[in-house]
Amino acid sequence: LFSVFLTLFVFFLRYNAYRTPTFPQFRTQYIRRRSQLLRENAKCGFEPGLRRQYLRLRSQLLALRYGPLSEQSSFRASSVRSSRTTLDRMEVRFVIPKHCFAHISGSHQLNLGCGLLFYIPILTLYYFISSVPRLQFANDDKHLLACCSLDGTLSIMTLSPPPPTVKVTLKGHAGPVTDFAWSLSNDIIVSTSKDGTLRIWNTEDGRCIREVADPEGSELLCCTFQPMNNNLTVVGNSKHHLQVVNISTGKKVKGGSSKLTGRVLSLSFDAPGRILWAGDDRGSIFSFLFDMATGKLTKAKRLVVNEGSPISSISARSWISREARDPSLLVNTCVNKLLLYRVVDNEGTLQLKRSFPIQHGSQPLHSIFCPLMSFRQGACVVTGSEDACVYFFDVERNTKAIVNKLQGHSGPVLDVSFNCDESLLASSDATGMVIIWRREQK
Ligand SMILES: *[C@@H]1O[C@H](CO)[C@@H](O)[C@H](O)[C@H]1NC(C)=O
Ligand SMILES: *[C@@H]1O[C@H](CO)[C@@H](O)[C@H](O)[C@H]1NC(C)=O
């Protein structure tokens, strides 16, 4: 049922560029109205067979009139074309009635026995015009979500009270935004871009507080806050450099730079902020010791995971569950697996603990731990995958480690994020779609 609903919508969107060519302002209105009608129809009950028939017929009619439209690529290309003059970013918001999900069948969620991990897509899907490489819920906040997009903007949304709204859009980067991070108190977001700048934003009013240009003028690819001192941010660039920046001055911290073997793609501190891991596009993970007093970095260890496979994501966790108390590192690198490492010493030395099959050949996929859920039962991790699914794995299970698979995306799922109580999961994909999933208590 959900798939029919979704298809209908993607479908409306796909042809949207062709509608009212002289009055582009009506397009969003059209989609809104369709959404409303669908919602009202849904109240009277859905007849899936009929819908499918309707879809087919409509598709034939539209194809007759406007010529055939192929999948995603043409949808996006046409949206870009049409939006150039009026909207620089198409944003369509619609609401799917809750009861529509009462009948979701097994094909949409494989719930393989772990009751707490049943997530359903809720009310909202956002369509951005281009890929959404990162998204992240704010700290200790259930409903504040930020996304960055290759179109150069970041958006902060509030998901509650419904309907969800875009609170503020952070505009200023002159190139695709590659990464961002919330400060601990959520008052600041730092972002990196291929335009070669790090930007510091006020999340209340969307003002850019500071812009720090990369001294080498190279693309900035990743950033993270030092967890114990949010005045310091670490930034990685495409010329293999890592740099600690004092964001209250915008200056480089002396002794806070280092060089990797490739483009710096991913960063993660351990919780106390003493060890920093950085991954590059040649397949190496380096660990650094961080000196809290001075902000200096000391290179410690290097691990070549798989020569030539970009390390697209690293996340560190001090301990993942009662059963697995050792500090761990979760790594996405393009080897069709999600890797879980054990951190075996104070220098950040890694030892492979487990791996989980996913589809990962080239895209910048990310993964996360689910700390709360893991505390209650098992020890879970969640990852995006190139087969357009979100996977949940239980790291303590020896067989059938996969505990859930969420379907609904239409392209490689690039990032996933939980809100603070893990009642919501957000996922984004390479086609610009964001899905918010709500945990169902069973
Ligand atoms: C950042 O620096 C300012 C001024 O030096 C200080 O007042 C503030 O507490 C620092 N913030 C953090 C999170 O350390
Ligand atoms: C960052 O800059 C602020 C303001 O000048 C300064 O007070 C603070 O000590 C600096 N922090 C580090 C670690 O250099």
Distance in Å, CA 225 to ligand 2 centroid: 14
Give the pLDDT of residue 298. 97
pLDDT tens per residue, range 47-56: 667 767 766 7
* pTM of the predicted model as reported, rounded to 2 decimal places: 0.76
Asked if residue 292 lies in contact with residue 244, where contact means CB atoms within 8 angstroms, the answer is no
Give the pLDDT of residue 439. 79
Asked if residue 180 lies in contact with residue 164, where contact means CB atoms within 8 angstroms, the answer is no
Report CA Rg, the chain.
22
CA distance 289 to 301: 9
Which ligand has the nearest atom to the CA of 296? Answer: 2
Provide residues with CB under 6 Å of ligand 1: 229-231, 248
CA dihedral (337, 419, 148, 244) in degrees, to 10, reads -80
Tokens of 433: 């779609």
Give the pLDDT of residue 27. 56
Distance in Å, CA 232 to ligand 2 centroid: 8
Which ligand has the nearest atom to the CA of 232? Answer: 2
Distance in Å, CA 168 to ligand 1 centroid: 25
Return the ligand 1 atom nearest residue 183 CA.
13
pLDDT tens per residue, range 364-394: 999 999 877 766 667 889 999 999 999 999 8
**Cis bond upstream, residue 161 (ω within 30):** yes
Ligand 1 pocket mutation, candidates 139, 183, 229, 231, criterion most atoms within 8 A of CB: 231
Provide residues with CB under 6 Å of ligand 2: 231-232, 246, 248-249, 253, 295
Atom 7, ligand 2: which residue's CA is nearest? 248
Where does 19-160 have alpha helices with state H?
Answer: 25-43, 48-66, 72-83
> Quick one: which of 226, 222, 312 has its CA closest to 269?
226
Atom 4, ligand 1: which residue's CA is nearest? 248
Distance in Å, CA 229 to ligand 2 centroid: 10
Tokens of 398: 């020896």
Give the pLDDT of residue 94. 32
Q: Does domain 100-440 have CATH number 3.90.1170.50?
A: no
Ligand 2 pocket mutation, candidates 212, 246, 252, criterion most atoms within 8 A of CB: 246
Atom 1, ligand 2: which residue's CA is nearest? 246
Atom 10, ligand 1: which residue's CA is nearest? 231
CA distance 107 to 396: 26
Please list the ranges in the chain whose pLDDT falls under 50.
1-9, 11, 70-116, 123-124
Give the pLDDT of residue 166. 85
Q: Please report how the helices 25-43 and 2-14 are oriented relative to each other, as an axis angle in degrees rounded to 10.
A: 160
Give the pLDDT of residue 374. 64
CA distances from 286 to 141, 245, 260, 298 (A): 32, 19, 8, 10
Give the pLDDT of residue 146. 96
Give the pLDDT of residue 169. 93
Which ligand has the nearest atom to the CA of 227? Answer: 1
